[in-house]
Copies of this chain bind each other. A is one copy, B any other.
């Protein structure tokens, strides 16, 4: 047994290389044995093979799912059903620094209501931006039913960029939906309320409570909604619900369901029947047909009135101008799903076992012929249900939503009460197949299934109850998203995915190859405004600037130190810290947190993020990097010192904890020279192979080269102090030089492993 020096420590490099190169032996246990041991059927193994994604391989589709009351968006892969990310939207989330750094606080502040921070959302329906009716993978929209708000996520970095509060609604369920070119994003009100702010007694429900649909103008170039160009159409106090935009022949129109067109006001505590009874009494409700293109022209022509400073077309104007019609639909409907060709609108009423297929052509002919079945109490023309229908099909008890297959005429409808999915043909009006799900499905989703180009292949059932599906985790259960293979004639259940946080409502899936997110920001980037940060810091330019009682820190992070390492302020100072992550390497995120405070930044490569706080309690506050970034991660630390008011500096000279000598320096220097030899051998191994054919390895080599440049700079520093016989500084800088070598070795070994596992070849030089 020999005591270990740094030199023999690094000799493990060669050892590690030797063993990792040995191919793993094929397991002794064969497939039959595994099936027997684990009780798997052939069908199970087939499902496993259809969903398993081996290490390093990619999923075919990416799902963006509502996170329900978590207020976030869930991102997962199909067919693996592995959750890749929760994107923070309406709720502060510290891993992402969301709601903790000043930049994202500014986004959340856009969502204030009556001046108050609303720190959660109840999000329901994600929508991907479209170009010519096809998902373009650029932006994602998501609503908050409760508040009611709409957020914009940029898919180039998967961050929330904007939030708007609906100026006239009190709640909003039926949105967002986008026009085929994402010119507008739709929100439909849910529970009727006065559109003007303020109190109106419930006794005036029929007269003064209203619904509405809002059309938010979206600027695709800059990726932001433009409230000044947005408008609404006033609607009766029916509870508006899910909606969809027309496309193809129906482009220019939007369709919005409603429930409780009975206009019932409950009061079970007063002996009245509850809302659920009074809101489901009639056999039909209405969907609203709105000519939004003409509505936009009316707004431009000055025919809107201002409500809370926002343009709104009144019911009377909408009726007079012929842009608003009602069509009876099965009562208490959920889905409103326009066919890919824009010719049909499929609606299911959850208390009717039939799904209704409406014909846009028939409805337009009725409108053109002014062939109306009557008017509602607000004067809106009503089309005749039977005359508007293409067909109706008995699909099961509690039908809700419909999604489209890539095969013509084939659709899937979620059946809540039966806990099934029904596959049927909406052209010929016949049921093709049914499959049981577990349990009580709400929405369902096919791949790009609400666009003009559905991709087929898979369907996800978003179930509302999980009950016995998973290992128990207490009274609050995960939700269950079930993956179903729809490639064949019969649907096949493939996978149960528990949703660990939030109750998703709707989800959308896009071909993975349409997404091209970045892996780093331009250096010194404000990711929330997508501009260079006004307070970015370049390496070597770190500084602390005092202006009265405000102290502004311009800091940086890089493996494995924070600059500055000591920040001294006075009690009562306002402290603003701007941290820039200088890293260029993929996945080299650093964090920055200060003990006992809410200061908590996530610094992806290139990002500048800021924290503002008042140093109101004197004391000693360690800070550190919260992301395990390197071998010396735990040592990536510093101290914030808050001096009490009136504190008088004592002339205390610090003593070094450990004192180093020439011998220490010589030992370190020798180690470093030997280490360089080992590194050179790794570099030789890599450059002797066709590493330039592997973009990931090229990025690693660039990163390692940068670390070796830092090592070279630090070597000079150490040797300079040695020349001056300052052995303390010489030894420590020599130590830092070695640290850079270790970082380079770390990266080099990752590159080597990658080459070994991906069939790199030796090349001639």
Contact = CB atoms under 8 A, between A and B. Distances in A.
Interface stretch (A178-186, A444-452, A620-628): A620-628
A122 interface: yes
Say which size band chain A's interface belongs to: 35 or more
Interface stretch (A217-225, A338-346, A405-413, A599-607): A599-607
A524 to B, nearest CB: 14
Nearest to A502: B95
Interface in A29-82: 29-31, 34-35, 38-59, 62, 67-71, 74-77, 81-82
Contacts of A527: 475
A1 interface: yes
Given A418-B12, A475-B606, A40 B49 contact: yes
Contacts of A488: 27-29
Interface stretch (A270-278, A528-536, A685-693): A270-278
Contact of A561 (B275, B515, B544): B275
A69 B241 CA distance: 37
Contact of A267 (B270, B465, B497, B566): B566
Interface in A241-255: 241
Contact of A55 (B24, B84, B496): B496
A348 to B, nearest CB: 11
B34 A46 contact: yes
Interface in A1-45: 1, 3-6, 8-13, 15-16, 19-20, 22, 24-31, 34-35, 38-45
A729 interface: yes
A189 to B, nearest CB: 10
A265 B62 CA distance: 47
A456 to B, nearest CB: 15
A84 B114 contact: no
A201 interface: yes
A147 interface: yes
A489 B604 CA distance: 40
Contacts of A518: 474-475
A587 B465 contact: yes
A514 to B, nearest CB: 11
Interface stretch (A308-316, A317-325, A366-374, A391-399): A391-399
A54 B493 CA distance: 10
Contacts of A354: 4, 9
A173 B471 contact: no
Contact of A739 (B5, B262, B280): B280
Given A596-B147, A626-B146, A31 B56 contact: no
A350 interface: yes
A436 interface: yes
B69 A602 contact: yes
Interface stretch (A226-234, A286-294, A296-304, A649-657): A649-657
A54 B4 CA distance: 50
A120 B116 CA distance: 20
A482 B566 contact: no
Interface string A510-534: 0010011111110000010000000
B736 A276 contact: yes
A440 B742 CA distance: 13
A572 interface: no
A428 interface: no
Nearest to A494: B55
Contact of A397 (B9, B517, B660): B9
A597 B561 contact: no
A474 to B, nearest CB: 4
Given A70-B94, A190-B622, A490-B24, A84 B15 contact: no
Given A471-B77, A474-B158, A542 B269 contact: yes
Contacts of A47: 52, 54
B49 A45 contact: yes
Nearest to A169: B595
Contacts of A76: 500
B75 A46 contact: no
A593 B122 contact: yes
B658 A281 contact: yes
B69 A657 contact: no
Interface in A706-733: 729, 731-733
A595 B20 contact: no
Contact of A635 (B260, B389, B434, B587): B260
Given A198-B644, A269-B563, A750-B440, A283 B5 contact: yes
Nearest to A100: B120
A85 B353 CA distance: 34
A762 interface: no
Contacts of A637: 191, 266, 275
A501 interface: yes
Interface in A161-213: 170-171, 173, 190-191, 193-194, 197-206, 209
Contact of A25 (B13, B118, B490): B490
Given A95-B68, A353-B11, A476 B634 contact: no
B746 A440 contact: yes
Contacts of A471: 58-59, 62, 77, 84, 512, 515
B265 A657 contact: yes
A168 to B, nearest CB: 12
Contacts of A591: 69
A111 to B, nearest CB: 11
A485 interface: yes
Contacts of A491: 24
Nearest to A88: B501
B5 A202 contact: no
B469 A617 contact: no
A573 B487 CA distance: 59
20 contacts: A6-B351, A16-B420, A34-B49, A45-B45, A45-B49, A76-B500, A82-B497, A114-B596, A158-B473, A170-B596, A191-B624, A194-B619, A199-B619, A199-B642, A203-B654, A417-B742, A438-B753, A475-B517, A475-B519, A501-B501
Given A16-B396, A474-B518, 18 more contacts: A8-B353, A9-B354, A10-B353, A12-B395, A16-B420, A44-B52, A70-B93, A82-B497, A92-B120, A95-B501, A264-B656, A265-B657, A266-B566, A268-B565, A273-B735, A468-B754, A475-B589, A503-B626
Task: List 3 tightest A-B contacts by C-beta distance, closest first.
Answer: A263-B657, A12-B353, A48-B52
